[in-house]
Amino acid sequence: MIVAECIRLLFVNANETSNTTSIEYHLSRMIEMSSIMRPTMRSTSIRTLLMVSQINALRWCLNGSMENCLIELNNATQIELSLGNDQSRPYVLQIRSAELFALYLLITHRDYSSLSLTYMFNNLTISVNDFPSYALHLYTIANQTDPHRGINSLGIARSYAQMGRTDEANQIYEKILRDWSDSTFSSSIDHIVIEEATNYLLLTKINQIKNNQCILHSSFFLIIFLFLFLFIKFLL
């Protein structure tokens, strides 16, 4: 409930003094709760702090500072990965920091791939053009601990798509269509994802047809050229 209220306040008008004060109050409560739980519930305590990082990252994003947003999420991701595959950890988060970090990496690449931008993550300088492969790495790690999370499959498909690896993206999107279309439960988000997968598969099929047509036309003109060349040579 606290997280939901913070997100609501951020999207209502985070710059209003009253909203900023409320957000700070909620975040301080979460930090205090984390401190209280730490001696007996370490995993839950850490994940509560991770939610604080996620909210702060969203604040940076909405304030137009994508660099600080990515740095915040990267730090949270490293803490999250340090927990390892702790089977006793509760599912406090609806979305993991690694998944959220990967999502923002893909968004940044989609919007700024034409710019020569670099960021420093874990003492490594990474170009925006390499963000999709970095995102794929994060989604793959997350998928190893919980292979049934749809958000990971969707992220992997998007990463492959932005990397230009069409065949791999097609395979994941086709699996998403099979799994999500036959789901007993359906929501507006499911329909958005299904539409995204359908559109991508349709677009790649259209592009493949166009490429085949170009190859066919090129082959046709080459055959005509060779025929004329041989015909003229025969006449001479």
Question: In terms of pLDDT, which residue wins out, 159 or 224?
Answer: 159
DSSP state of 89: -
Q: Which of 110, 169, 188, 177 is nearest to 150 (CA)?
A: 177
Question: 59-68, 144-153, 177-186 — which is least confidently predicted?
Answer: 177-186
Query: CA 57: distance to chain centroid?
Result: 15
pLDDT digits 0-9 by tens, 165-222:
999 999 999 988 888 766 555 555 567 788 888 888 888 887 676 666 666 566 656 6
Question: In terms of pLDDT, which residue wins out, 228 or 186?
Answer: 228
For the chain, the 3-state helix, strand and coil shares in percent, each to the nearest 5, are 80, 5, 20
Residue 52 has which token pair? 């604080």
Whole-angstrom Cα distance, residue 49 to residue 12? Answer: 23
Average pLDDT, the chain: 77
85: confidence class by pLDDT, cuts 50, 70, 90: low
Whole-angstrom Cα distance, residue 142 to residue 123? Answer: 22
Q: State yes or no: pLDDT of 92 exceeds 50.
A: no
Q: What pLDDT does residue 160 have?
A: 95
Do 46 and 79 contact (CB within 8 A), yes or no? yes
Q: What pLDDT does residue 162 have?
A: 93
Residue 105 burial by CB count (10 A; 0-12/13-18/19+): exposed, middle or buried? buried
Question: Which residues does residue 118 pair with via DSSP β-bridges, in sequence order?
Answer: 127
Question: What own/partner pairs with CB < 8 Å and gap ≥ 24 does 126-131 have?
Answer: 131/105, 131/106, 131/162
pLDDT digits 0-9 by tens, 6-49:
767 776 665 566 667 888 888 888 888 888 887 888 777 887 88
Question: Which residues does residue 124 pair with via DSSP β-bridges, in sequence order?
Answer: 121
